[in-house]
Every structure is written in C-alpha cells, then in structure tokens.
A and B are shown apart, each in its own frame.
Chain A
Amino acid sequence: MNPKRKAVAVAAAGTALGVAGLGVIAMPAGADAAPELPPVSAEALVESVFSAESPALSGTIELDNGLGLPAIPGAPALDMDSARVHNDGEGRSRLAMQDGGTERTIVHDGATVWNYDSASNTATKTTLPAEAATGHGMTGDGQVTDPTSAAKDVLQAVRQSSTVTVDGTARVADRAAYELVLTPKPTERTLLREVRVAVDSETRLPLRLAVLTHGTTEPALQVGFSDVEFGPQPAGLFRFTPPPGATVEERQADQGREHAPKTEAEPQFDAVGEGWDTVLVGEVPAELLTQQAPGSDDVNVRGLLGQIGKPVTGSFGSGHVISTNVGNALVTDDGRVAFGAVPEQVLIQTLGDR
C-alpha cells in the first residue's frame, strides 16, 4: 500500500476514534430503559421508606430549578450548581454545595454542625442540643442535608389528601428505583399536578424528588442524585477544623434563630386549610420591609416587592402577588403575608376571610 494512502487511512481512523470518543462523552447518562422490578404496593413502598435506615453513602445531588422564581440578586439557598453528600449512616454527614468557584460546606459530626463558606471564609459552629444530635437529615439551620428527609416530609404531609400510587420504575443515578407518585385529590385547589419520588429498590432511599405542575412535562423542581455510591465513608470527612484566618462564629442551636440573618428569622405562620391547598399566613415584621434588599444598595425589600410582584387588591386591602410555577405568595402593604402551592385567588380569599 502506498505509504501516503496508509497515512491517510491511519489519520481517518484516528479522527473517527476521537469523534467517537467525543460522542460517548456527550451521550446523556441514564438513558437506559426502565428496569424490571418485582411489583410493590404503594403502602409497602411508603412504609419501607419510612422504616429504612439512612445508609452510608456518597453521592452528588443536582437541583433542576424550573420554579420560575423572580430573579433576586444574591438570593441564597437555591443558588447552587450541585451538592456532594456524604453520610456515614450514623447521623454524621457532610454536604458541600458548590456555586461557581465558591463552596459552602456543612459538616455534621453528631454533636456540632459546622457551616463553612469559602467566599467569605467564615465558619459557623452550631452546637446541637443533646436530643437533636441523634436526629439525622437536618442541620441546625433547618437545611436539608439529604433527599431522604425531604421526601419523607413530603410523604407524611400529603398522604391524607392525595392518591399514592407506584407508577412503574426508573433508573436514577444508575440505580433501579420505583416511582412513587402522589397526586392531589380532585377537590384540592392546587397548582401542582403530581409529586414523583424515585425510591431505590434496594436501600429504599428516595433518590429523586420531582414536582410537576399542570400543563408542563418538565418538572418545576427536581432534586436528586446524579450519582450515588453506598458504602462506608472515611471518618475524616465528618470532622471539621476551621482554616487559619477564618472568621468563626459560634451559636447554640436554640438561639440560632434569633441571631440568624433575615432569611431565617421567619415569623410564625399559621396554616390555613389542609393538604395541597394549605395556605400559610403570617406577618412580616415592619422593619423587614424597609430593610435593604439582599445584593443591592438602594432598593429595600418593599421596593423589591414592587419590582417582582404584581399589585393586587381585595377585601384584605392591597398588596403584591409573587408568582412562581409551583405557587404564589401574597404580601400585603401592611405586612401580612400568605403563600402556598395554590392559585392567587385562594390566597386573596384566605386573607379576606381572616
């Protein structure tokens, strides 16, 4: 064979190999067919979820946020790319939420919770009361450290007012899982169509939680593992020593709420209604409305409401409605607030009735 033609053949093969490699990288993961699993009743599945021990695991949680939240600069909590979770199965956990080039690490070592923010180099140490030390899933800040407790809370809350079914199987993070579907009963006045929880067939750990609204196929909110591995975790992951130069704040879990920043200093809310159309009604302290909005210099919270909300009036007075894909919030001008996964008429009616 002519050496030149041979060279061209080699080059073509090399190019094809490279392109094929790129194709493999680009292939979306989890495109496999739904796995075959023995059938299980909804009751048995729910019960096994509640009784399942929290297993030792490491994994990555991704959040797909299609909530349609109004853009508030510097808004925390949902502002993350992905989070890595480590859990030793005995109440110790580590959560690392990454957001661009910064990271927030929450280490729960059983008795204390360290919350470290790399952007400001501050570490907050929260000492938990003794009885809370054994509780798992939630840190002192009330932040959810794994989807286990998130799904459990949802299940518990909606069982009376919803139809609970097992709707086939799914493959989540390369694990075979049952799809548990919670559909609101027809009498519920809600924006939500259904909540799907993918439950791992072996460990019965909820792997994915998806909230779907009427008229859409894409979930409005989806939290789930993109990869997960079960097995013992190195103990060193659950210890935290603040780095040199870091600002260390200490607080007790009980006092935490008083000193907590604005977003956590939530006033008491009363639940009105039951099930899916529950509306939470409360009052916002007046100083909160005049406080400076997060991430801006000249706009206070009241001004921000005017920017992102829609003005409404009713028998309650006047206020602003902030709409998202999964729910609405109504903040009146005199500082009352009502929110829920319901159409705004329900909010207006609820406030008017009080």
Chain B
Amino acid sequence: MTQATMTARERAPRAPLTRLLRAELRWIFRRPRTLVVLGMLALLPVVVGIALTLVDSPGPPGGGPNGAGGGESLLVSAGGNALVLPVAALGMALALLLPLAAAMAGADAVAGETAHGTLRGWLLTPVSRGRLLLVKAFGVAAVAVAAVVAMALTGIVTGLVINGGGTLFTLSGTTLSFPAAVGKVALAAGWVALQLWAVGAVALAISTWTEHPMLVVVSVLAGTILFSVLGALDALDWLHPFLLNDSWQAIGDVLRDPVPTGELTEGALRALCYIAIALSIAYARLTTKDG
C-alpha cells in the first residue's frame, strides 16, 4: 500500500461502499486465473453439446448412477433438446467444478491476500471488519454468478446451434416458447448460484482462518467429495438433510412441468443456512483478527 493511498483513505475515513465493491471486482476480474477458470467453465457446455452430437445415441438405458449429481442422468435427454443442455451442464459442473471455482474465489479473497500481505492494508484502513467481509463476500458471489451465467449462456447458444430453436421442451414433453425456456434456465442458474454462494461462504470462512489459499481449495474439494460419499450411504440417511449437496440433483426438477418445488425450496433454504453459519464464523474471525 503506497503512502498516497493511505493519506487518501485518511482524508475520507468512510470510503463509499460502491467504490470498495467496484475496486474488489476490478481486483478479482483482472486476475488471469479468474478469467481462465471462467473461460473453461463457459467452454464446458459447448464440449458436452458437441460430444453428445458426435455420439448421437440416446445414452445408456436405465440412467447413470444416482449418487453423482443430477447432470449425468440429465444428459440422456440433452441430445436433441436445446433446453436440457444448459441445465444438464450446470448440474454436471455443480457436482465438482463450480464449487471448485467458488472455493478458489473464496481462497483468494482472504487467505490469498493474507499470504501476499495485501490484507494488512485492509485491516489498517478505517474500513470496518463487517464491511470488509461484505466486500469479500460480494466478490466471491460475483465470481459464482459470472461462472453460472457464462455456462448458462454458452449452454443455451450451443443447444440452439446444435438442435435448432424448435427443440425447447421440458422433460414432461411440454414445448416452451423461447422466453419461457430462458426463464427456466435462469431459474436453474439462479438456484445453482445460490448453492455456490453457500460453498463460497464456507470457503470464505475457512479462508479467514488460514493464510494458505491452497488449504482453502483443498478443504472445499475434500468437503465436496466427502459430502457426496456420505450422501451415497443409505445407512446415514438421518445425516443427509444436513449435507449441502443433498438436493443438488434436484436441479433437473426445473425441467419438469409443472416444476416440483419441494426439493428445490429445501435446497435453497439449506444453502441460506450454510451461508448464515459460514458468514457468521468468518465475521467472528475477521473481527478478532489482529491488524
């Protein structure tokens, strides 16, 4: 932190929040790794779409294994249906790749800055710790939204290019208009983004306890895999409602008509609970952290 900015901050003791948020966004989206990850995620629906066209078969009968996220089994219907592809790609990436991206953003937000020594500047400035957390959480949330929106957009475009505009229909066989189809994908994307905010919040909480960003990513990765394994064990079904990814397979429900809201709502509430817990812990840790 240079002397000039220090004095600038002192003269304006309450930096406007919007300026802080904009600065954080610029800081995040200028990192090459953020852009690379976003670009790779955006490519995923394209690759899946092309692969499905090349294979050109309705997929294995009986559907995929049940434990590995909703995306795989949705792929059965994704060939020949422009609506299913973006949602299937989101569901597939939600199993591991998207949480990884959220974890990376959460790791960079606090632990990464601690490691580089740039967090010290934040802690010394007259920005309250609550605001600091708000800015960091906003940054992580923005990365999650960017990833989801990028995937949804490339997914829709790929689906339309490969299958044509007339192939927007639900799993229940209802043909949808283009705006209605976009609405369905937006619903799926919004729901996935909420789940990623929960993952990002957990990453942020871990991030405040360590100065090794790698540790954050590894923890979230291990947690995601562990939760999937626990979720696949029938003997632990009392535990399942506590696992964040318990309802991640419900992403396919947005493709049904009418949409069964039960599990989607439950998943959204669960994500909100995780966000409340994780941000509380992160707040406590950030406030008690010494500058």
Chain A interface residues (CB < 8 Å from chain B): 3-4, 7-8, 10-15, 17-19, 21-22, 25-26, 60, 73-74, 79, 84, 96, 98-103, 105, 114, 116, 118-121, 123, 227, 237, 240-246, 295
B277 near A19 with CB under 8 A, answer yes
B287 near A4 with CB under 8 A, answer yes
Which B residues are in CB contact (< 8 Å) with A10? 280, 283-284
Binds A, one of B109-117, B221-229, B258-266: B258-266
Which B residues are in CB contact (< 8 Å) with A11? 280-281, 283-284, 287
B62 near A73 with CB under 8 A, answer yes
If over half of A's interface residues share one DSSP class (helix, strand or loop), that class is named, otherwise mixed; here it is mixed
B277 near A244 with CB under 8 A, answer no
A-B contact pairs, 18 of them (CB 8 A): A4-B288, A8-B287, A10-B284, A11-B287, A13-B280, A15-B276, A15-B281, A21-B273, A25-B269, A84-B256, A100-B63, A101-B63, A101-B77, A102-B171, A118-B172, A119-B76, A245-B166, A295-B62
Contact with A along B267-282 (1 / 0, CB 8 A): 0011011111101110
Please give me the 3 A-B residue pairs with the lowest Cβ-Cβ distance, nearest first: A14-B280, A101-B73, A11-B284
Contact with A along B26-49 (1 / 0, CB 8 A): 000000000000000000000000
A101 near B256 with CB under 8 A, answer no
Which one of B75, B77, B91, B262 has the highest number of Cβ atoms from chain A below 10 Å of its Cβ? B77
In the complex, whether B241 has a CB less than 8 A from a CB of chain A is yes
In the complex, whether B167 has a CB less than 8 A from a CB of chain A is yes
Distance of B171 from chain A, by nearest CB (Å)? 4
Question: Which residues from 52 to 97 on chain B have a C-beta closer than 8 Å to any C-beta of chain A?
Answer: 58-59, 61-64, 66, 70-77, 80-81, 88, 91
A121 near B77 with CB under 8 A, answer yes
| Number of B interface residues in the complex (CB < 8 A) | 54
CA distance A73 to B11 in the complex (A): 73
Query: A242 with B173: in contact, given A12-B280, A120-B58 (CB under 8 Å)?
Result: yes
Distance of A207 from chain B, by nearest CB (Å)? 17
A246 near B173 with CB under 8 A, answer yes
CA distance A14 to B66 in the complex (A): 34
In the complex, whether B174 has a CB less than 8 A from a CB of chain A is yes
Closest residue of chain A to B274 (Cβ to Cβ) is: A18
A18 touches which one: B72, B77, B171, B273 (CB < 8 A)?
B273
CA distance A17 to B280 in the complex (A): 10
Which B residues are in CB contact (< 8 Å) with A98? 171, 256, 260
CA distance A121 to B275 in the complex (A): 39
Closest residue of chain A to B267 (Cβ to Cβ) is: A25
Which A residues are in CB contact (< 8 Å) with B58? 119-121
In the complex, whether B169 has a CB less than 8 A from a CB of chain A is yes
CA distance A27 to B26 in the complex (A): 43
Distance of B33 from chain A, by nearest CB (Å)? 30
Chain B interface residues (CB < 8 Å from chain A): 58-59, 61-64, 66, 70-77, 80-81, 88, 91, 129-130, 166-167, 169, 171-175, 238, 241-242, 249, 252, 256, 258, 260, 262, 266, 269-270, 272-277, 279-281, 283-284, 287-288
CA distance A79 to B66 in the complex (A): 12
A100 near B73 with CB under 8 A, answer yes
Which A residues are in CB contact (< 8 Å) with B252? 100-101
Which one of B59, B74, B81, B172 has the highest number of Cβ atoms from chain A below 10 Å of its Cβ? B172
CA distance A240 to B175 in the complex (A): 10
A22 near B77 with CB under 8 A, answer no
Distance of A106 from chain B, by nearest CB (Å)? 10
CA distance A25 to B274 in the complex (A): 12
Which A residues are in CB contact (< 8 Å) with B64? 100-101
Query: A116 with B287: in contact, given A25-B273, A60-B262, A295-B62 (CB under 8 Å)?
Result: no
CA distance A121 to B75 in the complex (A): 13
**Beyond the given A21-B270, A25-B270, A101-B252, could you list 10 further A-B residue pairs with CB under 8 A, ordered by the A residue number?**
A10-B283, A11-B284, A99-B63, A102-B73, A237-B258, A242-B173, A243-B81, A243-B169, A245-B167, A295-B62
B256 near A96 with CB under 8 A, answer yes
B80 touches which one: A60, A79, A102, A121 (CB < 8 A)?
A121
Closest residue of chain B to A17 (Cβ to Cβ) is: B276
Which A residues are in CB contact (< 8 Å) with B276? 14-15, 17-18, 21
CA distance A86 to B132 in the complex (A): 50
B280 near A102 with CB under 8 A, answer no
Distance of B178 from chain A, by nearest CB (Å)? 13
A96 near B172 with CB under 8 A, answer yes
Which A residues are in CB contact (< 8 Å) with B273? 17-19, 21-22, 25
CA distance A15 to B277 in the complex (A): 4
Closest residue of chain A to B64 (Cβ to Cβ) is: A100
Distance of B123 from chain A, by nearest CB (Å)? 13
B173 near A123 with CB under 8 A, answer yes
B173 near A26 with CB under 8 A, answer no
Which B residues are in CB contact (< 8 Å) with A118? 76-77, 171-173
Which B residues are in CB contact (< 8 Å) with A119? 58-59, 61, 63, 76-77
Which B residues are in CB contact (< 8 Å) with A12? 280, 284
A101 near B167 with CB under 8 A, answer no
CA distance A17 to B241 in the complex (A): 16
CA distance A96 to B269 in the complex (A): 25
Closest residue of chain A to B165 (Cβ to Cβ) is: A244
CA distance A245 to B77 in the complex (A): 12
A103 near B74 with CB under 8 A, answer no
Which A residues are in CB contact (< 8 Å) with B172? 96, 103, 105, 116, 118
